Structure formats: C-alpha cells, structure tokens
Amino acid sequence: LVDTSYNRIKEVDDQIQAFLTLNEENAQVQAKELDTDADKSKRLFGIPNGMKDNIMTKNLRTTAGSQMLKNFDEPLFNATVVEKLNEEKAVIIGKLNMDEFAMGSSNEKSSFQTTRNPWNTDYVPGGSSGGPAAAVASGQIKFALGSDTGGSIRQPAAFCGVVGMKPTYGLVSRFGLVAFASSMDQIGPITNTVEDNARVLEVIAGSDKMDMTTVNKEVPAYTEKLADGIKGLKIAVPKEYLGEGVAPEVKNAVMDALKVYESLGATWEEVSLPHSKYAVAAYYLLSSAEGSTALARYDGVRYGERSKNADNMIDMYKLSRSEGFGEEVKRRIMLGSITLSAGYHDTHFQKAQKVRTLIKRDFEDIFENYDVIIGPTTPTPAFKLGEKTENPLTMYMNDVLTIPVNLAGVPGISLPCGFSEEGLPLGLQIIGKHFDESTVYRAAHAYE
Ligand code: GLN
C-alpha cells in the first residue's frame, strides 16, 4: 500500500501539487516493520495517509503553508491526532499543502505552491485544506486529516468530490494543531467514502488532557450504526441555503438528493436560519481577532524565521513579521487588531460575539424538531484559478454556507452530490446536533 501511494505521487503530483513534504524513508521503514508484525488487528493497519501541514508531526517539517515556518524541520512532538493514528499503525506518507495558516478558500494563499483540482487542473481545489482533499481525490493516499475553522475541510471536499467531516467542537483534540481561531478550529478526516470517514474519526476523536476544550465523552462506534437506515429521519432545509447567490445547478443537485431521502423514508421541510446572513461578517471579525492573537507568537525569537536584514531589535520584530507573513495573513492580523482595540472592541468584537450566540440559537431551535439540516456545501462549484484572488470579499463569500456551522460548534459533513455542467463535483452538506456525528454519518451513508 505504501509503495502504491508513493508510485501514485510520482505519477500525478507534479500536476496536482498536493504534497509539501514527503516522509518516504520513514514510511518505508515503518511499512517493513508492519510486514513482519503478527498483530494485524490495529484499526488503520498500514493505511497510507497525509496530514495537512498545520498538524504537528515529530521530526517531519510542519510549515502551516507559511514562509514563517519554512525551516521548521524538526517539530518536537506529535499532535494528539498523529499519536492516535500511530497507535493504530497508520502510515503517514507526507504533509499536504494549505493556505497560509489556514486562511483562505482556494489554496492560492499557500506561500509555497498552488494545489490544483484533480478533476480539472485549471480550477482551484478549494481551501484551506486543498492539499488534503486533492491528494485523496487523486488516489495518492487513502485518507487525510484537515482542519476546519470556517469550512476548510468541507469546501475543498466538495470541490474535489470527496467526503469531509468537521466534527463537533471539542470532539477531536487540537493539541499540536497550529492555531488559527481556537474557538472554532477542529481537525477532521477527508476520505473517499463515508464509511472510511467514520472509521478514521473513531480513531482520532476523544478527550485529551492536553486540550481542555475536548469533552469527556465516550466515542461512539459510528461505523456500527451506518447501515441502520434513515426511516423516519426528519430533515430541515434552510431557505437561506437555497436562496440568493446559490447557483441553480447546485440547488437542483440538492433537490434531487432530497428526493432520494424521501424515497428512503425520510421527510423534509423548509426552515429558516434567520441570522445566517450575518455569519460571514461575524466570522471574519471573530476569526481574525483570534487569529491575530494566535499569530502574535511568531516574532522571530520564540517562533518563526528571523529576518537577516535588521540591525536593531525593534526592526528585527518588524522585518521578521513583514517578511514571514503573506498578504492575506497580514490582512487578517490588521483586521483582528482593529477589532480588538479600544473603541472597536464593543462595537465590533462584542457585537460579533452576540451575533454568534444568535446563530447558535438558530441551530438549537431547528434541532428541537429535526434530526439533521441539509443543504449545499458551497454556493457554486470550484472556481477557476485566479478568479477570486483580486477581491478578498468574493473569496470570503464562498464560505457563507459552511461558516455558520463553526460559529455554532455543531458537526457538518460534505459528500459528493453529482456534477456541474462543466463536470466538476458538487457537495451536499449535512449538519447535525452537537456530538451527534452518528446521525450525520448514517444520513450521509444512506445517500452515498
Ligand atoms: N476560508 C475561511 C477563511 O479563510 C475558512 C478557513 C478555515 O476553515 N480554516 O477563514
């Protein structure tokens, strides 16, 4: 399996550009050891996988897509999710490209390379976990872990025609994940099938004493309930998710999917998430505020590249950050710093927090009467490289259907749901109650 993975990488990754760093020597050694291992009972025995490059891997370069960390070749520890994969004998093939510090929706904001959409290399793979989604979609690895703060697992999964799960906030440990917005970041699996996805989540989920935001609950056996069917499942379809800005072909694909659900014994009704129209604005204020704080540590002293062009300490800080961060990251740092400063804190930051509470309540209200929410993952299929790089707002609007889920902390999955006229994959999004990944997976599996 490991050989097949590296062969496939050699065959296609020149065009796809998904990998930033390969782990070939170590992976081969590990594979040889596994060959002679009598105990093949481990849950991910020998399965080749890749990590988004913001997930810490001991002694394997971890850059978060940034020049700031381009020489971070020897991280001292593994993220908790990596430790859990190691315990189950999965084999890490390499590290995958991403928008710098997970800020972006197209992979064009990586400071190293731009990953291509495997279905058509003129198009973006989505982001920020574009490398992970493209690597799985092009058969280079069996699964990848990504991170999702505002859609970064689900949106690239939709664009690349694979399955991506953003778990409930607090289900998966963030220890060893390079922080973007700590109140929303979650790690989750990207796979070819819903079953694979559930299998990987079973391994990486669970409380962790290194991340106090993880919840102490037993991890359910998601895979055991997959085939139980969805008779009687109550589906809510928010009208905002099929409204203005959503492409007709995307709408049609979702309506077709709802017919499949009806035929399987589920019912659906139109509902409203009235505050979702404020979600993008609230998200970009809150995530930038948290992001600017998280990135304060990269000063060229404790963390990150140090500029060689400074001759005093203040310039050293300034130049290290000016040279180390890309344009989009600087934009977020500025937005976040303004949002948190005196005079704007009440009018912007606090207000956005209040909007977040209202959005969370919208979801709670719906989940009093329904089991899942279904809609598209993105308003349009993948866009062309370069199409949205000029205007950040058009890029941000691409996240309008994924962001509310992160603000509310609930789980959401994207799975393939047909193709656009141009032959690009479309994504169906299924959103569940807090910690009810079981129902989300069951509903996804029934449609798949
Ligand atoms: N595209 C969104 C952003 O740029 C979401 C990113 C993410 O989920 N990490 O912030």
> Mind spelling out the 3-state secondary structure of the chain?
CHHHHHHHHHHHHHHHCCEEEECHHHHHHHHHHHHCCCCCCCCCCCCEEEEECCECECCECCCCCCHHHCCCCCCCCCCHHHHHHHHCCCEEEEEECCCHHHCCCCCCCCCCCCCCCCCCCCECCCCCCHHHHHHHHCCCCCEEEEEECCCCCHHHHHHHCCEEEECCCCCECCCCECCCCCCCCEEEEEECCHHHHHHHHHHHECCECCECCCCCCCCCCHHHHHHHCCCCCEEEEEHHHHCCCCCHHHHHHHHHHHHHHHHCCCEEEEECCHHHHHHHHHHHHHHHHHHHHHHHHCCCCCCCCCCCCCCCHHHHHHHHHHHHCCHHHHHHHHHHHHHHCCCCHHHHHHHHHHHHHHHHHHHHHHHCCCCEEEEECCCCCCCECCCCCCCHHHHHHCCCCCHHHHHHCCCEEEEEEEECCCCCEEEEEEECCCCCHHHHHHHHHHHC
Q: What is the average pLDDT across 98-114?
A: 98
Whether residue 326 lies inside any domain: the answer is: no
What spacing in Å lies between the alpha carbon of 409 and ligand 1's midpoint?
15
129 C-beta closer than 6 A to ligand 1: no
- Is the pLDDT at 48 greater than 80? The verdict is yes
Residue 70 domain flag? yes
Confidence bin at 274 (pLDDT 50/70/90): very high
Q: How far is the CA of 4 from the centre of ligand 1 (A)?
A: 32
Question: Does a structural domain hold residue 295?
Answer: no
Respond yes or no: is residue 259 known to be catalytic: no
**For the chain, what is the domain count?**
1
Taking CA atoms only, the protein residue closest to ligand 1 atom 5 is 150
- Among the listed residues 105, 111, 147, 152, the single catalytic one is 152
Between CA 50 and CA 38 the distance in angstroms is: 25
pLDDT of the residue at 37: 80
Q: How far is CA 295 from CA 6, 71, 179, 306, 329, in A?
A: 34, 17, 8, 15, 9
CATH number of the domain enclosing 68: 3.90.1300.10
**Is 380's pLDDT higher than 90?**
yes
Mutate to test the pocket of ligand 1, among 66, 98, 103 (most ligand atoms within 8 A of CB): 103
Whether 105 lines ligand 1, by a CB cut-off of 6 Å, is yes
Tell me, yes or no, if the pTM score tops 0.95: yes
Non-local (6+) Cβ contacts of 164 within 8 A are 129, 133, 146, 148, 153, 154, 156, 157, 158, 188, 189, 190, 191, 197, 413, 414
Range of the domain at 9: 2-225
In this prediction, residue 244 carries a pLDDT of: 87
54 domain-assigned:
yes
Q: Is the pLDDT of residue 267 over 80?
A: yes
Q: In terms of DSSP bridges, do strands 425-431 and 372-376 run parallel, antiparallel, or are they unpaired?
A: antiparallel
Residue 415 domain-assigned?
A: no
In this predicted structure, the answer to whether residue 120 has a pLDDT above a threshold of 90 is yes
Flag whether pLDDT at 357 surpasses 80. Answer: yes
pLDDT confidence tier of residue 326, bands split at 50, 70 and 90 = very high
- How far away, in angstroms, is 148 Cα from ligand 1 center? 7
Verify whether ligand 1 is closer than 6 Å to residue 91 (CB atom): no
Q: What angle do CA 254, 258, 261 make, to 5 degrees?
A: 140
* Model pLDDT, residue 169: 98
Answer yes or no: 128 catalytic. yes
49 lines ligand 1 (CB under 6 A): no
Condensed to tens digits (0 to 9), the pLDDT of residues 27-45 reads 999 999 999 987 889 999 9
pLDDT single digits (tens) 130-189: 999 999 999 999 999 999 999 999 999 999 999 999 999 999 999 999 999 999 999 999
Active-site residue flag, 239: no
Q: Please give the distance, rounded to the nearest whole angstrom, from the Cα atom of residue 254 to the centre of ligand 1.
A: 23
Ligand 1 neighbour 151 (Cβ under 6 A): yes
What is the edge-to-edge ordering of all strands in the sheet holding 425-431? 19-22, 91-96, 48-52, 143-148, 186-191, 163-166, 412-419, 425-431, 372-376, 234-238, 267-271
pLDDT of residue 397: 87
How much is the pLDDT for 392?
87
**Best probe residue, ligand 1, of 399, 405, 407 (max atoms within 8 Å of C-beta):** 399
Tokens representing 55? 């997930």
Contacts 24+ apart (CB under 8 A), 299-305: 300/324, 303/68, 304/68, 304/69, 305/67, 305/68, 305/69, 305/70, 305/71
Going from the C-alpha of 386 to that of each of 133, 135, 145, 277, the distances in angstroms are 19, 21, 26, 26
**Ligand 1 centre and the CA of 80: distance in Å?**
22
What span, in angstroms and rounded, lies between the C-alpha atoms of 33 and 410?
40
Backbone angles phi, psi at 273, to 5 degrees: -110, 80
Q: Is the CB of 240 under 6 A from ligand 1?
A: no
**Ligand 1 centroid from CA 16, angstroms:** 21
Taking residues 261-289, report their average pLDDT: 97
Task: Find out whether 339 and 353 touch, Cβ atoms under 8 Å.
Answer: no
Question: In the prediction, which pLDDT does 106 show?
Answer: 97
pLDDT tens by residue, 331-344: 999 999 999 999 99
Q: What are the tens digits of pLDDT across the range 400-442?
A: 999 999 999 999 999 999 999 999 999 999 999 999 999 999 9
CA of 364 to the centre of ligand 1 (A): 24
Q: What is the pLDDT of residue 99?
A: 98
pLDDT at residue 395, as a whole number = 87
- Return the pLDDT at 28: 97
Given the residues 66, 110, 128, 292, the one annotated as active site: 128
Pocket test for ligand 1, best of 53, 105, 393, 395 (most atoms within 8 A of CB): 105
User: Do 35 and 3 touch, CB atoms closer than 8 A?
Assistant: no
Burial class (CB in 10 A: 0-12, 13-18, 19+), 35: exposed
| Average pLDDT over the chain, rounded to an integer | 97
- Ligand 1 atom with least separation from CA of 283: 10
Show the tokens assigned to 171. Answer: 């289900």
Instruction: State the pLDDT at residue 38.
Output: 75
pLDDT tens-digit readout, 194-236? 999 999 999 999 999 999 999 999 999 999 999 999 999 999 9
Confidence band of 366 (pLDDT split at 50, 70, 90): very high
Mean pLDDT of all residues in 274-294 = 97
- Of 98, 149, 391, the residue with max ligand 1 atoms within 8 A of its CB, to mutate for a pocket test, comes to 149
Per-residue pLDDT, 390 = 86
On whether residue 279 sits in a domain, the answer given is: no
Ligand 1 pocket, residue 107 CB under 6 Å: no
**Quick one: pLDDT at residue 39?**
80
CA distance 92 to 50: 6
In the structure encoding, which two tokens stand for residue 223, read together? 């895979």
